[in-house]
Every structure is written in C-alpha cells, then in structure tokens.
Structure 1
Amino acid sequence: MSTAFIRNYQFNIIKKQAEFLLKTLRTVADRKVIETVRYRSAVNVIEAFPYLEGDQQQMLEQISALETAYDFQRYLESLEPYLDPFPPITVKQIEKLFPKNKKLKVPDLQSIDFRYVTYLSWVDIATNRLFIVYPFEGRFIGIEGRITPTNKKGYCLFCNRHQELAFFSVKTKPANASPDNYAAIGHYVCMDNHGCNQVITDTGSLEKFILSVRK
C-alpha cells in the first residue's frame, strides 16, 4: 500500500486522538477507563474518513494498541508517507485567482511543506490583506479581504482553537444586486495561519465561509 489517503486535517485528528490517549495512559489507573479511551480513539480516527480500504483501516486502528510516547511518535511517523498534500499549484495559477490585484505578493511556494496544508494563506502586511486559496471540487477558489488584529484571544472560525484573533472581512456581492452594491462578511480567524493549519480538524466552517464569499 503506497497510495496517499490522509489529508492534513485528518492527520490533525489522528494527532489529537494520540495526544489524548497518551495523556490518559499517563494519568489514569483504571483499566476500564483506559480501554474505553483506546476504543474511542480508534473509532474517532476511523470516523474521520468517509472511505477506507481494509489495510488502511488496520493501519489507523493500531493507535488503540500503543503504550509509550515512543510508540505514538513512531505511529505518527509511519503515517507521514500516506499524507495527501495540498494539490500542486503555481504562482501563475494563484495570480489568475486574484486578477484585480496587479501587485500580488505570492509566498515562496518552494518553502512550504504542502503535506501539512489544508488551506493556503498569507498576509500582505503593507495592505493588511489576507489571501486564501482553497481546493474545492477539482479547482481552486481564491478569496481576499481585510485583516484587522484584535489583540484579543478567542476561538478561530477555521480551527476552533483558543488563540489570538484577527477580524477577516471580505466584500461580496449579493445575488441580483446592482454593480455598486456590496456587502461585507467577516469572521474572527487565527493571526497565525501556519498554526491554524497544524490543528484544524474539520473543514466544514472553512468551506462554508469560502463558499459564502467566493466571486
């Protein structure tokens, strides 16, 4: 088996379950509780995948038999060859997603490990603009908007972690609106986009937001 089948957000789910199970093993003495947590960890991992082949499921279910921190580390490392990275994208493809932005500053794509990317994003500090590129149904969607730091902590719309937030506001045109009629849709998101990608475990809120503001 060599087919990549684990997306970044699914790998984050696996990491989260591994961390919880390891913490339980270190702090709980009741064997019944431990066995319940072992069972639920495996179930939660499997449920993150809409479809799995038999050998893929067997590989993931090994989480329930792990004992030590070393075991968990080796387990996660063994899954890395099966990570399904963010689809290949070029600078020209990104530029076409933002045709009105003639001075678009694209990040160094060569420096990004796309195995750990659910959504590609970067901030243009000079203009306080946040850009997001997301693969959806075989194509890329690009959105941009104003990003305003709040200097407060709260829960990010995308990854739902408690973190320092910024307000991300995107202009959108309502259906059947006049050419000059725009509305703004905004939500609070992580200031640290890289950190957000490292912990996001569900793409539902991210996709809902992107689809609501796409052009």
Structure 2
Amino acid sequence: MSTPFIRNHQYNVIKKQSEFLLKTLRSVADRRVLETVRYRAATIVTEAFSSLTENQRQMLEQISTLETAYDFQRYLSSLEPYLEPYPPITLKQIQKLFPKNKKLKLPDLQSIDFRYVTYLSWVDIATNKLFIVYPFEGQFIGIEGRITPINQKGYCLFCNRQQELAFFSVRTKSANASPDNISAIGQYVCMENHGCNQSITDTGSLEKFILSVRK
C-alpha cells in the first residue's frame, strides 16, 4: 500500500520542474546543458521535502532520467497514489471557525478533489467576502475578509504566478488592543482559487499572511 508523503504544493513543484525539463529537452541539444538541467530538476524536487526515505528519494529523482512527454506524464501519474490530501474536514467544523457568521455560505465539499488542495477557500458573492481555511500544526485556521477585484494582472501572494488579481482585506486587531482599535491587513491574491491551488509551490507566504491576521 502506498504511503502518502507528497503535499499538493510539493506536487506542483514536481509538475513545474517536469514542464521545464521537457521544454529544455525539446529546445536544447548541448548534452552538458541537458545534464545540468536534469541534475537541477532532481535537486529542486527533492529539496522541496524536509525529509525523505531512500525509496522516496529514488522515486522522485527519476525525473532526471525522463525523455519524452509520455515519460513525464507516466512519471506524474505514478506519483498520484502518494499524494497526501488536505486533512478531512466537515461543514460543522467550518461553521465553528466562523461563529459570527450565522448565515455562512459553505463550500461544496463533495465536489472538491482534496489531493490538489493546499488551502480551502470560497467566495460569498452576496457579501463580497473571501473565506480561507488552512490546516496548521494539527488544527484548522479560518480567516475571512473583503475581496475586491482590481481588473488587472499581477503576482499573487500565495502562488506567485501572474494572474487576474483581487485585493483581499482582513480586519484584525492586536491582542492588547481595545475593541475599537481595529485595522486591516490586505494583500493581492488570485481571483480564482482552483488555479492558485494548482500553482502554489511554497506555503511560506500563505502561512505568514494567515498567521498575521488570525484572531
């Protein structure tokens, strides 16, 4: 039985390196350059993990031996049984994360393939609010804020790809502040979270933002 060890953002690293290596194989003839790119691809993939067993390392390093588009597709498909899905969560758990929202719009959990989710999010169009639920150190963190499309492309804080952006503003206050002393922290993020989840390769910026605004 396969033991999952690849999180979604790590799988995205593997996909990105696979795409880059295949493109290089199709456009570069210099054998020394190709060997360098192969080695670097395998290094970037393995360094995306804090720890690996020897079998896991060997499995991932196969990327350096691939030649054709079919090889890369078969390689990526072979890794799918090892994807570690987003932790199980229920609608009741989500509701408890947002106790002040009595009419909280909930996501359709049945329609989500949680193998490819780093953060769960959805937009309530009626209130122009974005809700995010993120698993961190064995618990879920829920944040909500105003989402405002800016109708232009830029780099998303979470996935660092150039895409149509929106300004996500979260009201927050310090632990010692009075109830009236409320400010807002905002960042530019993808309008479309599915594509964001398919592109995110590092959780650092996402976690930093969520921890900075958590209540």
TM-score, normalization: structure 1? 0.99
What amino acid maps onto 2:178 in structure 1? Answer: S
- Aligned partner of residue 123 in structure 1, secondary structure: strand
Matches within 5 A, 1:116-155: 116-155=116-155
1:175 deviation in Å? 3.1
What amino acid maps onto 1:137 in structure 2? Answer: E
- Aligned partner of residue 33 in structure 1, secondary structure: helix
- Aligned partner of residue 134 in structure 2, secondary structure: strand
Question: 1:47 & 1:120 partners in 2: Cα distance?
Answer: 25
Question: Aligned residue for 1:66?
Answer: 66
Question: 1:62 & 1:189 partners in 2: Cα distance?
Answer: 34
1:179 deviation in Å? 1.3
1:16 deviation in Å? 0.3
Structure 1: runs of 5 or more not aligned: none
What amino acid maps onto 1:78 in structure 2? Answer: S
Question: 1:179 & 1:169 partners in 2: Cα distance?
Answer: 18
What amino acid maps onto 1:29 in structure 2? Answer: A
Matches within 5 A, 1:1-215: 2-215=2-215
Question: 2:175 & 2:120 partners in 1: Cα distance?
Answer: 27
1:2 deviation in Å? 1.3
What amino acid maps onto 2:14 in structure 1? Answer: I
* Contact 1:172/1:183 (8 A) holds in 2: yes
1:64 deviation in Å? 0.2
Question: 1:124 & 1:33 partners in 2: Cα distance?
Answer: 49
Alignment size in residue pairs: 215
Structure 2: runs of 5 or more not aligned: none
Question: 2:108 & 2:194 partners in 1: Cα distance?
Answer: 14
Q: CA RMSD in A?
A: 0.6
What amino acid maps onto 2:149 in structure 1? Answer: P
1:73 deviation in Å? 0.1
* Contact 1:86/1:117 (8 A) holds in 2: yes
Question: 1:203 & 1:133 partners in 2: Cα distance?
Answer: 14
What amino acid maps onto 2:200 in structure 1? Answer: I
